[in-house]
Structure 1
Amino acid sequence: MDILLLLLGLICVVVGVFGSFLPVLPGPSISWVGIVLLYFTTAVPANYWILGISALITIALTILDYIIPSKGTKKFGGSSYGIWGTNIGLIVGIFAPIPLGFLIGPFVGALIGELIYDYKDHQRALKAATGSLLGFLASSFMTFVVCMMYLGLFLWIVWQNKTALF
């Protein structure tokens, strides 16, 4: 049973790393589940500090993952129309059958939202859409770093308990 939990945990952590780039998968949450599965094994003693701190990081990052692209739009002069456009564009981009739709969607959504708000000011709309894209990229990078840390933590815990697991 321990080997099954170890494999499922490793799969979750690796899928979480991929989820840091694909917005349809909640990367940090899936990676955290992988760490929790590792602690369900009988060979690894429960460390509630690691689980608690990583859970708080996961919750904070999940919230920030939705806030940062909108804040990027606002920072670059976008209005609430651009923020709504960013969020709608992100959802549409995920399901659109085009390559890199999750990158193009927030940009186009913010651009359309800003053009609806003020169709005469194309420069401001383009600037807000660029802020949306930069916010999304910053959020993805931050998520990737945390998921890689979770992968390292998972491998470190396995290494520390390798004699008990195998």
Structure 2
Amino acid sequence: MVVGVFGSFLPVLPGLSSCWVGLLLLYLTKAVDNNYWLLGITLLLTIIITVLDYIIPAKGTKKFGGSSYGVWGTNIGLIIGILAPIPFGVIIGPFVGALVGEMIYDSTNHKRALKAATGSLLGFLASSFINFVFCIIYFGIFIHTTWEYRNLLF
């Protein structure tokens, strides 16, 4: 759970999925009664938010006036940023990708390209914030359940 909370704002670590695995492991113990509804709903939310992590930066690019080149640049930059062994690649990749994409689209309008790249960065920050909020919610559920079953767990 702690790795998940840190992973929600540190791109190197898996965030929300780690928190969900923490919940799953808690509910798989013999001491805690299984709650398939809770696990199912939180899994569905985890999947949706994970997909949104890849969509939100592209939407931020589009919202700030980026073209389809900027959106594609954001997505390609995100993939390269994930795979590249550079610090903060997940942050830098979409920004640079959107900037390069917009410069390919219109190399004379640097201000528009920078604005679209900024939208990509803001989209990434928004998705990180959403991840953090849901990690804290999952952590709260974990703490509550652990406290509720403390006599059987410890």
TM-score normalised by structure 1 residue count: 0.86
2: CA distance, partners of 1:75 / 1:57: 24
| Superposition pairs of residues 6-155 of structure 1, within 5 angstroms | 13-155=1-143
Q: Tell me how many residue pairs correspond in the alignment.
A: 154
Gapped runs of 5+ residues in structure 1? 1-12
Aligned-CA RMSD value: 1.6
Gapped runs of 5+ residues in structure 2? none
Find the residue that maps to 1:22 and give its secondary structure.
coil
Q: CA deviation at 1:96?
A: 4.1
The reply to whether residue 165 of structure 1 matches residue 131 of structure 2 is no
Percent of residue pairs bearing the same amino acid type: 70
Q: CA deviation at 1:90?
A: 2.0
1: CA distance, partners of 2:103 / 2:140: 44
Question: Is the 8 Å Cα contact of residues 4 and 19 (structure 2) preserved in structure 1?
Answer: yes
Question: Is the 8 Å Cα contact of residues 81 and 93 (structure 2) preserved in structure 1?
Answer: yes
Q: CA deviation at 1:95?
A: 4.3
TM-score normalised by structure 2 residue count: 0.92
2: CA distance, partners of 1:98 / 1:25: 14
1: CA distance, partners of 2:40 / 2:96: 38
2: CA distance, partners of 1:37 / 1:94: 27
Question: Is the 8 Å Cα contact of residues 99 and 113 (structure 2) preserved in structure 1?
Answer: yes
2: CA distance, partners of 1:77 / 1:92: 23
2: CA distance, partners of 1:96 / 1:46: 40
Amino acid aligned to 2:15: G
Question: Is the 8 Å Cα contact of residues 93 and 105 (structure 1) preserved in structure 2?
Answer: yes
